[in-house]
């Protein structure tokens, strides 16, 4: 199965970029937008000088519990810079969201509670609320993580959005907020 089909079957429509969008990122931003894949996983990530952002991480059901996700995360952590990702808030009717959150917490990721994140899907029109999780080798502030997320949103999520979806994503100030009182 093609890597995009694996991602598209696993992630909800309102979280997925189009295949054309991801292929353009891989082609046009090959110096920062990367793909790691084998028969058991697909990981799309952004390798910046001072942080890594995981755009998508998929491990096949047959391979879950075998340490593949941990190994992938550890490879990123070995670069000794923050690793940031977006994850759905826990929905107790969807046990996968709870398992996902538990996995990332077990791997040392923290919830950036001072960062609010909501993005309207250009495909479905639904507002998608996400939580920002991060791992850092130093005691990096949530404000610093927020700035890195804003950069990712502008550089990756909004990349040629009008070309691919016919309309733009919200401005970064509407999608991402920082509340100093929460950190």
What value does the CA radius of gyration of the chain take, rounded to a whole number of Å? Answer: 16
Compute the distance between CA of residue 106 and CA of residue 143 in angstroms, rounded to an integer: 23
pLDDT, position 97: 65
- Which phi-psi region, left, alpha or beta, contains residue 148 (left: φ > 0; alpha: ψ -120 to 50)? alpha
The fold for domain 3-182 equals Aminopeptidase (3.40.630)
pLDDT confidence of residue 99: 81
Instruction: Compute CA distances 46 → 2, 118, 141, whole Å.
Output: 20, 20, 20
Q: Are strands 115-120 and 127-135 parallel, antiparallel or unpaired?
A: antiparallel
Count of residues for the chain? 183
Alpha carbons 88 and 91: distance in angstroms, whole number:
8
Task: Give the pLDDT means over successive 10-residue stretches in the chain (183 positions).
Answer: 91 89 98 96 97 95 85 97 89 67 93 94 84 95 98 97 94 94 60
User: What's the pLDDT score for residue 176?
Assistant: 97
Lookup: tokens for 49: 């000088």
**pTM of the entire structure?**
0.93
pLDDT at residue 90, as a whole number: 62
H helix or E strand, kind and range, residue 102: helix 95-106
Which residues have C-beta within 8 Å of that of residue 4, sequence separation ≥ 6?
19, 22
Which residues are bridge partners to 117 per DSSP? 130, 176
Place of tokens 């100093």: 180
pLDDT for the residue numbered 182? 56
Closest CA to 26 of 49, 56, 60: 56
Residue 33 token pair:
């937008």
């Amino acid at each position: 199965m093609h890597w995009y089909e694996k991602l598209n079957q696993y992630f909800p429509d309102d979280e997925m970029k189009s295949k054309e969008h991801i292929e353009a990122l891989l082609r046009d931003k090959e110096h920062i937008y990367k793909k790691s894949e084998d028969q058991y996983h697909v990981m799309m990530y952004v390798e910046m000088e001072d942080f890594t952002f995981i755009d998508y991480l998929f491990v096949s059901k047959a391979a879950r519990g075998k340490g593949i996700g941990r190994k992938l995360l550890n490879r990123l952590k070995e670069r000794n810079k923050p690793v940031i990702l977006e994850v759905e808030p826990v929905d107790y009717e969807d046990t996968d969201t709870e398992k996902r959150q538990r996995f990332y917490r077990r791997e040392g990721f923290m919830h950036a509670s001072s960062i609010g994140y909501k993005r309207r899907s250009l495909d479905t029109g639904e507002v998608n609320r996400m939580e920002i999780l991060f791992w850092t080798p130093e005691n990096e502030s949530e404000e610093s993580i927020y700035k890195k997320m804003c950069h990712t949103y502008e550089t990756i999520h909004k990349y040629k959005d009008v070309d691919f979806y016919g309309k733009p994503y919200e401005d970064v100030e509407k999608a991402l907020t920082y509340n100093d009182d929460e950190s």
